[in-house]
Structure 1
């Protein structure tokens, strides 16, 4: 056999696939394999072609995120390949039927969004310096001086500013959860990846509350003004909120 089956996600059966989905690995099309009340979203991939390029990763993300915009989805991690369509049914859908059905029910009608924020670094540091006399003194002590001669003072200055940034970041994350949490089914606070990152939240929002949620994001952006630049991404596949399998009784 020259091809295997790539699996993007598990959804409820009888789904109408969105148009324009790009398969991973240069396959011909994204398709659906039904089994009872479940379905797997799949495409063919060459057996002898390694996966892992940036294009493959983007194709996977675009497919699962597009699905998440129109239906409840259990996304698979990138790189999920099985032998053939029969294995999709036997090894995936039938073998985990009870869990998949339960997890889809838990996520029914919900969409994941990701909120990121980045500081205006110059404004942030200027505010920290203005509010802390000790940092002002350290700044004056090293300004215009030989870096080698003021090495330890510069370390103290950097540590003091970094400590303030961490406290501000923690307070901003708490405020974001306070403002947006009431509109979400669940929230997950993440560590910002960028050095100037202010906040990164994953939020699971029911479709009936998306409008109110987006208004709350706009209000938070207005409250923070230009101090924090917010970006709302989504809906995306709910990787951060996949239900854990219930513990077996007994």
Structure 2
């Protein structure tokens, strides 16, 4: 997405020569006058997050000392917390983590002014919506038990290998592992589809992610109409009850729309 990558690179290119401080840019939103209190800041917890405005836009920024590379866990968490706090009640365009410009003037001259119409159009598309992410993990390897119970080929191979020394059944065990893995992939796909279907009447868009770990079941981002958030949460609760002791669901949000930045 150009807004979070190429445009950030353009902004950082505005710095020339070695510097020991800069202005960190978190994101872009419609112009506003005040910010929530006690926002964290990247690089220096004592630096206040401020607004830099131009036209109909405001940028979320804070001063940062460049005495060390940005990238520790606390920096990333601060970046996300600023954006997600604002996203709870307004549309916000997240900049890529690590976006730094040379000065407050550069925020206007190199970011807000030349890309004003682009950002304004993006915010217009995102108006009235917010991102939530749902992640789920299989409880006590429920998916493996289901595969064994549901897949005749798996049952047959398991029975064939019963009592066979490990070194004597290498090919069969390899095949059994392949069958189980394939069945788990199908099960995750089916569970992801059920999750999406369960909340479909309350969401504007979905973005499924691949799950990273063996016991992970689902990982889907949803763009939700703010007026539909209670209904969305209720639908998630109802699915959680149906999946009780099978998949443990975790609802994360409200979040900035990291997965739904419009191409305009």
Match of 2:173 in 1: 154
SS in 1 for 2:37: coil
**Post-superposition shift, 1:43?**
0.3
TM-score normalized by structure 1?
Answer: 0.93
Structure 2 equivalent of residue 9 of structure 1: 27
1:232 aligns with 2:251: yes
Instruction: Map 1:38-117 onto structure 2 (within 5 A).
Output: 38-117=57-136
Change (3 A) 1:188 1:42: same
1:189 corresponds to which residue? 208
Q: TM-score, normalised by structure 2?
A: 0.88
Measured after TM superposition, the shift of residue 16 of structure 1 is 2.2
Structure 1 position 144, deviation (Å): 4.0
Q: Which residue of structure 1 aligns with residue 154 of structure 2?
A: 135
- Pairwise CA distance, 1:131: 2.2
Cα deviation for residue 243 of structure 1 reads: 0.8
Query: Aligned partners of 2:259, 2:141: CA distance in 1, in Å?
Result: 32
Tell me, yes or no, if the aligned pair for 2:21 and 2:65 is still in contact at 8 Å.
Answer: yes
Instruction: Provide the rounded CA distance (Å) in 1 between the counterparts of 2:262 and 2:71.
Output: 27
| In 2: Cα distance, 1:156 partner to 1:2 partner | 58
Displacement of 1:122 after TM fit? Answer: 3.0
Q: Secondary structure at the match of 2:198?
A: helix
| Cα shift at 1:172 | 1.1
**Which residue among 124, 128, 131 is the counterpart of 2:143?**
124
State the shift of 1:15 in Å. Answer: 4.2
What is the deviation of 1:52?
1.2
Superposition deviation, residue 75 in structure 1: 0.7
Give the Å deviation of 1:236.
0.8
Q: Which one of the candidate residues 14, 32, 50 is aligned to 2:51?
A: 32
* Cα distance, 1:121 vs structure 2: 4.7
Unaligned runs of 5+ in 2: 1-18
Structure 1 runs (4+) deviating above 4 angstroms are none
State the distance in 1 between where 2:159 and 2:222 align.
Answer: 43
- The count of residues paired between Structure 1 and Structure 2 equals 245
Match of 1:176 among 172, 178, 195: 195
Q: Report the more deviating stretch, 71-80 or 136-145.
A: 136-145
Q: Is the 8 A contact 2:143 2:187 kept in 1?
A: no
Give CA deviations for 1:157-214 in whole Å, capped at 9, x if unaligned.
Answer: 1111111111111111111111112211111111112221211111001110000000
2:141/2:215 contact within 8 Å kept:
no
In the other structure, the counterpart of 1:248 is none
Distance, in Å, in 2 between the alignment partners of 1:15 and 1:105 is 19
What SS does the corresponding residue of 1:25 show, helix, strand or coil? Answer: coil
Unpaired runs of at least 5, structure 1: 246-250
